[in-house]
Structure 1
Amino acid sequence: MFQGRSLLKEIDFTKAELQYLIDFAIHLKALKKNHIPHPYLAGKNIALLFEKTSTRTRAAFTVAANDLGAHPEFLGPNDIQFGKKESTADTAQVLGSMFDGIQFRGFKQSDVEILAENSGVPVWNGLTDTWHPTQMLADFMTIKEQLGDYTGKHLVYIGDGRNNMANSLLVTSAILGVDVTVIAPTSLQPETDIQAIAFEKAKVSGSKLIITDDLAAVKGADIIYTDVWVSMGEEDKYDERIDLLLPYQVNAELLAKTENPDCIFMHCLPAFHDLETHTMHEIHDKKGLSALEVTDDVFHGKNSVVFQEAENRLHSIKAVMAATLGNLFIPTV
């Protein structure tokens, strides 16, 4: 059912399969907390391909591989040649002959698709400009841990609505039966093809989808989610994004508009919530701002689950790797 399969985007798996992976991740987390070994991938070799910089994804895949008994090998932007001196397809065949599984974090979705098509081994999308499926498993795992379930809950995403996080949250929510609202300026709302996928999935799950620029739509939210306003590769757009998105900052006033004191706050990180980064110092000197997408009081507030969410990257990634490469007995889902 899972063995030998790749995870390239959320729609690669059914609702039941995504639910299984989330529950399996919760189980693997319990095993690790109780110091119970689970070397399902003993003797396997895993290639970790990174075109983009990474903290959580690289750390999670590395520790996950080690916990599962596999050997991870990091290959950074100076080690892989995608389309420069060697085609992506040729690279895929070479790596597939040496490694048992491949993780890819980069820019083009087409690259991770080509890797899966030509390598002959499971390929896992650690992030592309279009999708972020491993983050979704960690996110909905966190929601289930915090709220008891995700089905029927109301998730509100605020900010840049046409990045990979907005795409993935919209579509994954629609698959899992989570009501989701994307609040973003009209120019930064999800692409029509992404919306079409989500609305089609929602017809099956019963999920209610709203895409709007109206901040009043936060009312009744169970989860408020935001992300950085400038994605990797867009560093020249800070001024225009700040001007456009400052009204969409997640702050105490906005959180109060949910009228739900138990509404949790989520962010995939890193977050610009204080002045403890060079980037925010530069923005502060230029714009006088001490935070961007979320204020520090919300980020560190009692409703924030961002560090639990970050830790869950490890357990959810481990679930994907074990399920697709570990020859596990998994009942039909």
Structure 2
Amino acid sequence: MRHFLTLKDFSKEEILEIIDIGLEIKKNLKSKIYKQELKNQTLGMIFEKSSTRTRVSFEVGMFQLGGHALFLSNRDIHLGRGEPVKDTARVISSMCDMVMIRTYEHSKIEEFAAYSKVPVINGLTDSYHPVQLLADYMTLVEHKAEKNIVAAYVGDGNNMTHSWMMLAAKLGFELRIATPKGYEVDEKILQVALGFAKESGAVIKTMNDPAEAVLGASVVTTDTWVSMGQEDEKEERIKTFKGFMVDDGMMSLAQDGAKFLHCLPAYRGLEVSEGVFEKHSEIIFNEAENRLHAQKGLMVWLDKQRNL
């Protein structure tokens, strides 16, 4: 049995296999071919952090695979408050076939997985957002932009940045990360990624100059400057991140035809300009849709692993 907590636990071949399954499922869906690989199975969905895309994509995805998704909000369950996480894991995993968790501390999902009898999927933690990177890479494959990737991440050194580092390290492409001083990536996670990069030939660079990161990039990406739980820091962050907006001027430094990705929600006028967002809206919303297909590929793959 396997869990999906971070990409660091997966080989290049496994990541690509999950993507391929997702692409095949998407192709079948567009052709009105429905294969219910997870018929009669139940996905428990624990949301301590709310999300539009995560709930819709997992719930619809499980339905399309022939199963059922059970939604538990932070009003229904509080991991580690009252009942220990390990007890919650034992109970829920005895009734569900798979569990997806979207929470704050990464340690919570690690503890849950340690005591779970079924596969656990990280829907997002403060440290990682691996399901989003499956969708991002699937999107690059569909747009024939997965060869010789030079990716530039501009913005906060957050869970998205950490997951981009792991994807680059595993698949062996170049990633440049530009953050304001004081908002760099987690050093421990960076060192883990650099360790994998030595094996794959990936190049991971960190810097404080967004123009340096974007120069010659084939893929440019960013994320909100103010994540959930950081609302009290909003004004200070907006001041600090001035100069890190991905606008037409910044995109002009990238390769001709460079792709722009955004995991959404996007705050136009802050991390991305209205012009850049609308120019690249087709790939951005395909990226959003691919959360559905990539996660279906992941769930089917995880189900197959426990039957090996």
Query: Normalising to structure 2: TM-score of the pair?
Result: 0.96
Quick one: which amino acid aligns to residue 147 of structure 1?
K
Alpha-carbon distance, 1:327 to partner: 6.6
User: Would you say how many aligned residue pairs link Structure 1 and Structure 2?
Assistant: 307
C-alpha distance in structure 2 between counterparts of 1:51 and 1:130, whole Å: 15
Would the alpha carbon gap of residues 68 and 239 (structure 1) be closer, same or farther in structure 2, given more than 3 Å must change?
Answer: same
Quick one: which amino acid aligns to residue 214 of structure 2?
V
Contact preservation (8 Å) 2:2, 2:306: no
1:3-42 equivalent positions in 2, closer than 5 A: 4-42=1-39
Matched, 1:209 2:187: no
1:45-56 equivalent positions in 2, closer than 5 A: 45-56=42-53
Structure 1 runs (4+) greater than 4 angstroms displaced: 326-330
Contact preservation (8 Å) 2:4, 2:121: yes
The counterpart of 1:231, out of the listed 209, 212, 227, is 227
Paired residue secondary structure (2:302): helix
Paired residue secondary structure (2:177): strand
Quick one: which amino acid aligns to residue 63 of structure 1?
V
Q: 1:46-71 CA distances to partner (integer Å, 9 max, x unpaired)? A: 10110001011111100110011111
1:222 corresponds to: 218
Alpha-carbon distance, 1:19 to partner: 1.1
Matched, 1:90 2:81: no
Contact preservation (8 Å) 1:225, 1:267: yes
Alpha-carbon distance, 1:85 to partner: 2.0
Alpha-carbon distance, 1:329 to partner: 8.7
Alpha-carbon distance, 1:217 to partner: 2.8
Paired residue secondary structure (1:181): strand
Quick one: which amino acid aligns to residue 39 of structure 1?
Q
C-alpha distance in structure 2 between counterparts of 1:117 and 1:300, whole Å: 43
The counterpart of 1:245, out of the listed 229, 241, 247, is 241
1:84-233 equivalent positions in 2, closer than 5 A: 84-150=81-147, 152-161=148-157, 163-214=158-209, 215-233=211-229
C-alpha distance in structure 2 between counterparts of 1:329 and 1:123, whole Å: 16
- What runs of 5+ residues in structure 2 fail to find an aligned partner? none
2:302 corresponds to: 324
2:276 corresponds to: 298
Matched, 1:312 2:290: yes
C-alpha distance in structure 2 between counterparts of 1:244 and 1:194, whole Å: 23
Contact preservation (8 Å) 2:224, 2:266: yes
- What runs of 5+ residues in structure 1 fail to find an aligned partner? 274-290
Paired residue secondary structure (1:60): helix
Paired residue secondary structure (1:318): helix
Would the alpha carbon gap of residues 251 and 70 (structure 1) be closer, same or farther in structure 2, given more than 3 Å must change?
Answer: same
Quick one: which amino acid aligns to residue 74 of structure 1?
F
C-alpha distance in structure 2 between counterparts of 1:329 and 1:300, whole Å: 44
Contact preservation (8 Å) 1:25, 1:318: yes
Quick one: which amino acid aligns to residue 198 of structure 1?
A
Q: 1:176-207 CA distances to partner (integer Å, 9 max, x unpaired)? A: 11210001112111121111011111111111
Contact preservation (8 Å) 2:154, 2:213: no
Quick one: which amino acid aligns to residue 251 of structure 1?
D
C-alpha distance in structure 1 between counterparts of 2:164 and 2:280, whole Å: 23
Percent of paired sites with the same residue: 38
Alpha-carbon distance, 1:174 to partner: 1.3
C-alpha distance in structure 2 between counterparts of 1:239 and 1:187, whole Å: 16
